[in-house]
Amino acid sequence: MLKQGGLHIPSRILMGPGPSDVAPAVLQAMSNPLLGHLDPAFLAIMNEIMEQLRLVFVTENQLTMPMSGTGSAGMETAFVNTLEPGDVIVIGVNGVFGQRMVDVAERCGATVVRVDATWGEAIQPEQIQAALQQQAKVKAVAIVQAETSTGVWQPLAEISRLAHDHDALFIVDSVTALGGIPVDVDANQIDVCYSGTQKCISAPPGLAPVTFNQRAVSVFQHRKVKVQSWYLDLNMIQSYWGSERLYHHTAPISMNYALHEALSAILREGLDQCHQRHALLGKALQTGLVAMGVGMQVEEAIRLPQLTAAIIPEGVNDLAVRKQLLEEFGIEIGGGLGVLKGKIWRVGLMGHSCQQKNVLTFLAAMANILKRQGCKIDAGAAIDAAMAVSSGV
């Protein structure tokens, strides 16, 4: 029988691949009274969000705003607006989200040229160059900056240059990157960039910030066929977020309150300081795990700080460890996906979850659980190592 009496949400520390913890001020922002989606007071909030997003994406792009939907809606927005049937797109695939890009681009009727790398490694510019050289005309090159399924930090500058040398748009997935590591849309000459609210921005899942430069805007303004998706058609959505204020769909009002508050928090901290916090605490977590005898899947030069892929030690039961972490310590982490299923744990330190006390609590909990699974673990060494890196945060 259906139990009455409201929700009972257990207490958790969200250290998985997303969503991350949300600060109390962001939750409180959501409990404000609703405004109508054309109320001047709400329109002013929308303007501020666009301004805040420009600061966080580090761009001057006029078309910078949150789409209604999770990060995947941002991905679809990027592809449905720029791709027409028959267009050729080169996509880097070194994990689940590169694969998802392929699926979305194919649904747009595009011809996808896949550039694959081993999961846990970066896509090399030479691979992109080789793919571009084999095509007469390429509409876009797309890549994931922070591959959440592997923990790889994909360098962008060289691939951006190659895309532009071939007159292609450069599309970047910054769902796990934005707020955690520099995305620098204008400096990296990214034509289309999309993100999500539920990772390092630390608002609940439900909005997908996107930014398109003038070159990309002109692409969807001059399409031969209509954008396949009515809901994500920027030609229409722009008229609501821009000066015309034409109704398209009802904006998710409370989610926008949350995003405003979450972006305010990042800007109050300072974007650079926010990146430094992620860098330092990510390093502390990784140093602590290594000190405990747990290996890293990704080499240090391309390892994300906000998402650590830790190799599951021989003989350890993946599911049992994650269950104990959740049930005994209230800590959520993620398992591996695809070829890395059962081989790695994915430990997130994103946004409001990225705090020293969470690093230390997680290391102590993991050490305790691994000991009980028969591993020889020096918990003290792990904590000392993490403290040495992160003291002063």
Q: Which residue ranges make up the site for ligand PLP (CB under 6 A)?
A: 17-18, 70-72, 75, 97, 144, 148, 173, 175-176, 196, 198, 205
Shorter beta-carbon distance to ligand PLP: residue 18 or 288 = 18
- The SS3 assignment for 231 reads coil
Question: Hey, what are 246's tokens?
Answer: 């034409």
Burial of 207 (0-12, 13-18, 19+ CB in 10 A): buried
Question: What's 102's DSSP letter?
Answer: H
CB of 190 to ligand PLP, least distance (A): 15
Burial of 202 (0-12, 13-18, 19+ CB in 10 A): buried
Identify the bridge partners of residue 142 per DSSP, sorted by sequence position.
91, 171
Cβ atoms of 220 and 208 closer than 8 Å: no
For 261, list phi and psi in degrees, rounded to 5: -70, -40
CB of 98 to ligand PLP, least distance (A): 9
Shorter beta-carbon distance to ligand PLP: residue 203 or 386 = 203
Shorter beta-carbon distance to ligand PLP: residue 72 or 127 = 72
Question: Hey, what are 282's tokens?
Answer: 């990510």
Q: How far is the C-alpha of 50 from the C-alpha of 37, rounded, in Å? A: 15
CB of 99 to ligand PLP, least distance (A): 11
Give the rounded distance of the alpha carbon of 217 from its chain centre.
23
CB of 104 to ligand PLP, least distance (A): 10
Nearest residue to ligand PLP by CB is 71
Question: Hey, what are 210's tokens?
Answer: 């996107």
CB of 307 to ligand PLP, least distance (A): 8
Shorter beta-carbon distance to ligand PLP: residue 173 or 261 = 173
CB of 72 to ligand PLP, least distance (A): 3
Is the Cα dihedral 304, 104, 193, 164 positive or negative?
Answer: positive
CB of 193 to ligand PLP, least distance (A): 12
Question: Hey, what are 278's tokens?
Answer: 């992620």
Shorter beta-carbon distance to ligand PLP: residue 258 or 386 = 258
Cβ atoms of 325 and 332 closer than 8 Å: yes
Q: Kindly report the three-state secondary structure assignment for every residue of 33-46.
A: CCCCCCCHHHHHHH
For 188, list phi and psi in degrees, rounded to 5: -90, 5
Shorter beta-carbon distance to ligand PLP: residue 76 or 389 = 76
Shorter beta-carbon distance to ligand PLP: residue 194 or 241 = 194
Cβ-Cβ contacts under 8 Å for 234 (sequence gap 6 or more):
63, 77, 81, 212, 217, 220, 227
CB of 348 to ligand PLP, least distance (A): 10
Q: How far is the C-alpha of 297 from the C-alpha of 5, rounded, in Å? A: 45
Shorter beta-carbon distance to ligand PLP: residue 181 or 386 = 181
Identify the bridge partners of residue 298 per DSSP, sorted by sequence position.
none
CB of 175 to ligand PLP, least distance (A): 4
Shorter beta-carbon distance to ligand PLP: residue 349 or 377 = 349
Question: What's 329's DSSP letter?
Answer: H
